[in-house]
């Protein structure tokens, strides 16, 4: 799950090694004066067709040779944290304007941000103020919140810059369910800034398997019915649960290529017959096996 961070560290390490090798071999490195991009007019706005809310900004000195990567964000601010509504990588250019796609957001407090990533560290520039978004008579109405004293002091006219030297980690923000993967936020462990959300692959499937196994193990009935629109197989944990309850039949109501099917695993079924050497088995395969052995 930490590929991004690890990859970047590796890249930094490799770059370092190449630089050392170049020094050892006498190759001169022409030090490029990396001019940091400049971001101006960073704000939250109503899109020109009034279809949604955007974050937008202007910028300079952002070429593909600059070594920087910039991303524009629209954040919703809640009492328990900040949530990304939309994000967009800014296009390279000596000078340019960027905007996120118009998004139909709920009423609330918003801000715009730009992250500037130089490959080693990341900093975030925030819009000078927060914005109140309201929805009145079919139109978005935007008002600036009053600037706070310290924000005005920090402000250089190009947005407020976070003083945190961020350290990003993945934090779980939503538990997996049998139908939806868990969600992790890529968040600064020091100041709480979130710059991305990712789904945890296979976490929903893992919950489905765990809950299925527990239902079979703990049932008071003679038959357990498992219903799923999404999954098509069991793993060893489920087969062990079936083995531990030879008094229980398992009916699986599942969907395959748009059609609903029923698989009946009779009480006391031989699980060795059903699963493959890794402990997995698809419902279609089990159906064939059970039918063959009738």
Positions touching Zn ion (CB under 5 A) are: 164, 166, 188, 190-191
Helix/strand/coil for 285: helix
Q: 188 vs 286, which CB is nearer to Zn ion?
A: 188
Nearer to Zn ion, 190 or 222 (CB): 190
Give 229-269 as a DSSP string: SS--EE-HHHHHHHHH-TT-EEEEEEEETTEEEEEEE-TT-
Taking the CB of residue 75, how many other CB atoms lie within 10 A of it?
A: 26
DSSP string computed for 3-56: HHHHHHHHHHHHHHHHHHHHHHTTPPP-----PPPEEEEEEEEE-TTSS-EEEE
In the chain, how many H helices and how many E strands?
6, 18
- Beta carbon of residue 233, minimum distance to Zn ion (angstroms, whole number): 42
Beta carbon of residue 200, minimum distance to Zn ion (angstroms, whole number) = 23
Grouping H, G, I as helix, E, B as strand and the rest as coil, residue 239 is: helix
With respect to Zn ion, which residue has the nearer C-beta, 163 or 278?
163
User: Which CB, 112 or 133, lies closer to Zn ion?
Assistant: 112
Minimum Å gap between C-beta 166 and Zn ion is: 4
Q: Are 216 and 245 within 8 A, CB to CB?
A: yes
Give least dist CB 96 to Zn ion, A: 26
Nearest to 223 by CA among 261, 253, 201: 253
> Considering beta carbons, is residue 70 or 133 the nearer one to Zn ion?
70
CB of 126 to Zn ion, least distance (A): 12
Nearer to Zn ion, 38 or 164 (CB): 164
Would you say 225 and 234 are in contact if contact means Cβ atoms under 8 Å apart?
Answer: no
C-beta of residue 63 within 8 angstroms of C-beta of residue 57: no
Give the nearest distance from C-beta 125 to Zn ion in angstroms: 13
Nearer to Zn ion, 169 or 199 (CB): 169
Q: CA–CA separation, 114 vs 159, rounded Å?
A: 10
Considering the complex, what minimum distance in angstroms separates the CB of residue 191 from Zn ion? 3
Distance CA 228, CA 233 (A): 10
């Amino acid at each position: 799950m930490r590929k991004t961070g690890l990859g970047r560290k590796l890249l930094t390490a490799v770059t370092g090694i190449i630089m050392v090798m170049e020094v050892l071999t006498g190759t001169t490195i022409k030090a490029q004066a990396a001019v940091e991009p400049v971001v101006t007019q960073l704000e939250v706005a109503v899109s020109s067709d009034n279809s949604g809310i955007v974050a937008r900004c202007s910028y300079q000195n952002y070429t593909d040779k600059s070594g920087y990567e910039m991303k524009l964000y629209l954040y919703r601010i809640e009492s328990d944290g900040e949530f990304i509504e939309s994000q967009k990588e800014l296009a390279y250019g000596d000078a340019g304007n960027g905007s996120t796609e118009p998004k139909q957001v709920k009423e609330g407090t918003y801000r715009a941000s730009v992250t500037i990533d130089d490959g080693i560290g990341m900093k975030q520039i925030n819009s000078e103020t927060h914005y109140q978004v309201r929805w009145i008579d079919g139109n978005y109405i935007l008002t600036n919140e009053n600037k706070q004293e310290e924000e005005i002091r920090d402000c250089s006219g190009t947005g407020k810059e976070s003083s945190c030297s961020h350290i990003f980690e993945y934090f779980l923000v939503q538990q997996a369910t049998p139908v939806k993967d868990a969600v992790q936020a890529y968040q600064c462990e020091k100041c709480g800034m979130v710059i991305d959300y990712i789904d945890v692959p296979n976490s929903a499937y893992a919950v489905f398997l765990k809950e299925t196994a527990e239902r079979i193990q703990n049932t008071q009935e003679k038959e357990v019915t498992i219903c799923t629109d999404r999954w098509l197989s069991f793993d060893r944990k489920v087969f062990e649960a079936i083995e531990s309850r030879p008094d229980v039949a398992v009916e699986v109501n599942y969907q395959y290529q748009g059609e609903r099917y029923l698989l009946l695993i009779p009480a006391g079924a031989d699980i060795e017959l059903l699963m493959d050497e890794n402990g997995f088995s698809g419902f279609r395969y089990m159906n064939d096996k059970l039918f063959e052995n009738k």
